[in-house]
Amino acid sequence: MKFLQYYKANSDNIHVGIESEFGIIDLSEASETLGIPVPNQMKAIIQGSHEDHIQQILDYYTHHAHEVSFVDESTISYAPVVNNPEKIICVGLNYHDHVSESSISDTPDEPVLFSKFNNALASHQQVIPLNSRGVQFDYEGELAVIIGKKAKNVPKDSALDAVFGYAVANDVSVRDLQFKSGQWLLGKSNDFSAPIGPYLTTKDQVDVNRLNIKTFRNGELVQSANTQQMIFNVAEIVSYISEYMTLQAGDIILTGTPSGVVLGYPKNAQNWLKTGDEITVEIEHLGRLTNTFEVEK
């Protein structure tokens, strides 16, 4: 099942929907129409206990597609698939080829973690402002993991039980700010530097260890890999993080980027992002996340 959050025209209210072949099923409208109680809040859906009711709505709308109304996806504005998570945790250097191209360190023995904050969240099709205090603007196509329940000290073999689903993300980075000091924060948590979406796909729909991931810059393929090439897979990452902090429903984990980022090019060939550039990150079965960029004045 694919969920999304969105705004209708001339409205500031976030709606939760289900993506279907006929259009978007607006959960709030469907709940009222069918008398089936479901929340219009993604966090509440992630926390569980509404699966049967949501499935009833999906089944009814699918089987009665000519009798019910759907929201035309071309008429909406997207919101991030999760808003206001307690934590956004990022994994650095998690593909061997990216470790080699970045020349930041050797292959890590444990996951390299850093953080972003809620100010970094952005949505599909949003224009991303690039902080004019930096120059070296870069893309990082990544798989995002959305936690589904409280998890502390979970073993690797059951770590995926704590996952609700997956989404496409872009860890937008400002490299000169990232390496300005020993901490990466300035280059990693600028406003709107973590677009995520357009959909949140439940974990039962995919084999998370075998997903093709591609990034396109202005239509040209610049990154291509498969999640099976991760140094630490999703279960290992979730288990590791849970040893140090309690994961909560709605938390987001960005699992690292493969090779092909601008940082990995020779210095005389580094073509940093600029105003008007378009980046699309595509992950098999999860969708395509597209953003354009504009350097702040």
What are the boundaries of each domain within the chain? 2-78, 88-295
Task: Select 88-295's CATH number: 3.30.465.10, 3.90.850.10, 3.10.20.340, 3.40.50.720.
Answer: 3.90.850.10
Say what the pLDDT of residue 246 is: 98
pTM: 0.97
Give pLDDT tens digits for 165-213. Answer: 999 999 999 999 999 998 999 999 999 999 999 999 999 999 999 999 9
What number of other Cβ atoms are within 10 A of residue 197's Cβ? 30
pLDDT band at 11 (very low <50, low <70, confident <90, very high): confident
Whether pLDDT at 103 is above 70: no
Largest CA distance in the chain: 62
For 21-30, 75-84, 97-106, 234-243, which range has the lowest pLDDT when averaged over its residues?
97-106
Is residue 29 scored above 80 in pLDDT?
Answer: yes
How confident is the prediction for the chain on average, in pLDDT?
Answer: 96
pLDDT band at residue 99 using 50, 70 and 90 as cut-offs:
confident
